Each structure stands twice: as C-alpha cells, then as structure tokens.
C-alpha cells in the first residue's frame, strides 16, 4: 500500500512541476515585450526567438502556392492557437512548426465522370468522387483513378479553415 502512495505522489509531482516552471517563464515574458512581431498582440523576446527560429522552416513548408498574406495569416493564427493550447508550457520552435503545419483545412475532390477512386499523397480516401473532407494543410498530391479512364493527377493547396476544390475531367483511354 505504501508503494502505491509513493507512486501516486510521484505522478502528482510530475503533473504539477511543468506548470510551475512555466509560470515563472510567462511572468518573465510579460516583462519584455517587442514590436517586431508581425501579429497582434506583441510577444516577449523569449517567445520571439522561438517564433523566429521556426519561421524560415514554416515559410519553406508553405512556399508551394501560398501567398505572403496567407503565410502571415497561418503564422499569426497558428501562433495564437499554439500558445492557447500550450499555455503554461515551455515554448518550442519545432513544436510550433509541427503544430502550424498540422492544422486542418477542407478539400473537395470532384471529377467528371464521378465515382473515381481518390488517392491523396498516395494514400487512398475511403470515398470516391465527388467527395469532401478535412485534411492537413499544405500542398497535397492527388490522383484520381477510374477503370476505362486515364488517371487524373494534380496538386491542391489546402489552407487552414478554407475549402480547396480539386476537379479533373477524366479522359477515356
């Protein structure tokens, strides 16, 4: 019974300790605000370093068709959501990058004629065209296949919180 109590105490300590250390970090962060940050509200120097170290990779990731305002919106909204979800934790550039590129957008895949099997990044969707669903943001490679028709292939840029339409007219073989 005593060992169970010790185990419980260890778990309790492990659960409480990250929150305690981050409270100190957030207090320090409030004291140092900066104006170089492109989004509102301004952030601390410490957070700015995390943001800046993730920014080049983030820009490279979204460079395939996203306009500059789109990328800035992803950066700002991604940062805001990331901070909201990781409140009280040590902020990390790699985690932010992963977070920002794993948000979800909408993808509508249609074809003429319909009923073509869909593969997104070489992985099959469970529905045939015309279908819609949510998937991770970024440039997605889509292949439509239907017996008797040539494959329809192309890229779609899925944006966070927006519908992206991918349509192909399939040609007979």
Gap between the Cα atoms of 160 and 103, Å rounded: 6
Instruction: Please name the residue ranges forming H helices in the chain.
Output: 2-31, 45-61, 68-85, 93-101
Confirm or reject binding of residue 15 to another protein (CB under 8 A): no
Confirm or reject binding of residue 151 to another protein (CB under 8 A): no
**Region 102-121 residues binding another protein, contact defined as CB under 8 A:** 102-106, 119-121
The set of residues, in sequence order, having a beta carbon less than 8 Å from that of 47 and lying 6+ positions away, is 29, 83, 91
| Smallest separation, CB 95 to another protein (Å) | 11
β-sheet bridge partners, residue 154: 142
Find the angle CA(22)-CA(26)-CA(32) to the nearest 5 degrees: 145
| Smallest separation, CB 86 to another protein (Å) | 10
β-sheet bridge partners, residue 26: none
- Contact region with another protein (CB under 8 A), list: 33-41, 44-52, 68-76, 98-106: 98-106
Determine which helix (DSSP H) or strand (DSSP E) holds 139, and give its type and residue range: strand 138-145
Q: Write the interaction track for another protein spanning residues 52-81; mark x where CB under 8 A is met and - where it is not.
A: -----------------------------x
Confirm or reject binding of residue 17 to another protein (CB under 8 A): no
Phi first, then psi, for residue 122 (nearest 5°) are: 65, 15
**Nearest residue (CB) to another protein, 33 versus 164:** 164
- Read off the tokens for 48: 């700015």
Residue 164 DSSP SS3: strand
Confirm or reject binding of residue 35 to another protein (CB under 8 A): no
Confirm or reject binding of residue 13 to another protein (CB under 8 A): no
- Contact region with another protein (CB under 8 A), list: 17-25, 39-47, 58-66, 124-132: 124-132
Of 126, 147, 171, 173, the one binding another protein by CB under 8 A? 126
**Nearest residue (CB) to another protein, 119 versus 167:** 119
């Amino acid at each position: 019974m005593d060992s169970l109590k010790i185990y419980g105490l260890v778990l309790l300590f492990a659960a409480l300790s990250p929150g305690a250390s981050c409270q100190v970090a957030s207090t320090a962060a409030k004291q140092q605000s900066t104006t170089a940050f492109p989004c509102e509200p301004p952030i601390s120097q410490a957070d700015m370093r995390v943001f800046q170290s993730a920014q080049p990779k983030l820009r490279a990731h979204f460079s395939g068709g996203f306009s500059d305002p789109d990328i800035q919106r992803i950066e700002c909204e991604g940062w805001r959501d990331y901070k909201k979800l990781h409140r009280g934790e040590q902020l990390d550039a790699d985690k932010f990058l992963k977070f920002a590129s794993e948000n979800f957008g909408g993808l509508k895949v249609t074809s003429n004629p319909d009923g073509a099997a869909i593969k997104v990044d070489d992985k099959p969707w469970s529905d045939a065209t015309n279908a819609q669903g949510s998937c991770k943001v970024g440039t997605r490679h889509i292949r439509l296949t239907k017996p008797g028709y040539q494959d329809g292939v192309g890229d779609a840029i899925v944006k966070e919180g927006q519908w992206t339409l991918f349509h192909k007219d399939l040609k007979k073989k």
